[in-house]
A = this chain, B = another copy of it.
Amino acid sequence: MTAPAVAKAPIQGLCHECPLPGACMIRCPDLVDRVMQAGAARVGMVPGAPPVPAALAPLIDHTLLKPDAVRRELNVLCEEAERHGFASVCVEPTWVGYCARLLARSRVKVCTVIGFPFGATLSEVKAFEAERCQDLGAGEIDMVINVGALKSGDIDFVRNDIRGVVKSATYNTVVKVILETTYLSREEKIIACTLSKEVGADFVKTSTGYGPSGATVEDIALMRAVVGPEMGVKASGGVRDFAGALAMVQAGATRIGASASVKIVSGAKGGPATPGKY
């Protein structure tokens, strides 16, 4: 039994766009188990497949969002993203133009955050911010929902708030919707996922990384169940090492937001949460 056959098997409709070719044992252990039970003596990786932690690199948004980040830290961020092949650098709007210039000849995209981290600005401001960030080179847009409106029961308002940013996106811009799950009930998480899918967002994302808590395996599984296989799910906040990232992917995440990205792909064990930046 060879791995490519495994990788191409239709698992939850995702294999054809699997971001982890050759990493079937990480991503789809159940299927691999079934293959083994069917008589395979050994399940191999594709020839030349990278070591397992490094295989996560294309799923990672390499993130630096602290308000006191300085130019030299952005230089390091972009250099690391290019070297490891991360999906993007995720930076504040004020750094989008700078990072876009640094990464102009790279495959690494620039991701930015809209209405961040509270999501409590005006809808038209979020849409304007998203537009201008794309003008400056952002290819991915992570917007924060209006948490207070959702918790006040203003569902139409929340829908229109997300829609405004989705509409501001050009056809090749990826829009992720940050739920900030730490503040939401299970029902509110389901509503936010449903609205995001309804208005055409590309991803739902758990957290800003600045709330009282971050991504959990349970939330990722719930969000994946609600949005189905067509949308992306991004785990962010508190993902500090390979084991943590792997657990999120196994639960259904197709993107990881992390500042400990280099640690994740090196397989090193994560340290304790940093105060104010779990």
Residues of A within 8 A of B (CB): 65, 67-71, 92-95, 116-122, 124-125, 128-129, 132-133, 136, 144, 146-149, 151-152, 180, 183, 210-212, 275-276
Min distance, Cβ A220 to any Cβ of chain B, angstroms: 21
Q: Which residues of B contact A116 (CB under 8 A)?
A: 118, 121
**Chain A to chain B contacts (Cβ below 8 Å), 28 pairs:** A67-B117, A67-B144, A67-B147, A67-B180, A67-B211, A68-B147, A68-B148, A68-B151, A69-B120, A70-B151, A70-B152, A71-B148, A92-B120, A92-B148, A93-B121, A93-B122, A94-B121, A94-B148, A94-B149, A116-B121, A117-B117, A121-B129, A122-B129, A122-B132, A122-B136, A125-B125, A125-B129, A210-B210
Min distance, Cβ A72 to any Cβ of chain B, angstroms: 8
- Asked whether A118 lies within 8 Å of B67 as measured between CB atoms, the reply is yes
When A and B form their complex, which 5 residue pairs have the shortest distance between CB atoms, in order from nearest? A92-B120, A67-B118, A68-B183, A71-B152, A70-B152
Q: Which residues of B contact A210 (CB under 8 A)?
A: 210
The main secondary structure of chain A at its interface with chain B is: loop
Q: Which residues of B contact A67 (CB under 8 A)?
A: 117-120, 144, 147-148, 180, 183, 211
**Residue from A95, A121, A128 whose CB has the most chain B CB atoms within 10 Å:** A121
Given A67-B147, A70-B151, A146-B94, answer yes or no on A133-B129 (Cβ-Cβ < 8 Å).
no
- Asked whether A275 lies within 8 Å of B70 as measured between CB atoms, the reply is no
Q: Which residues of B contact A69 (CB under 8 A)?
A: 120, 148
Min distance, Cβ A277 to any Cβ of chain B, angstroms: 10
- Asked whether A95 lies within 8 Å of B148 as measured between CB atoms, the reply is yes
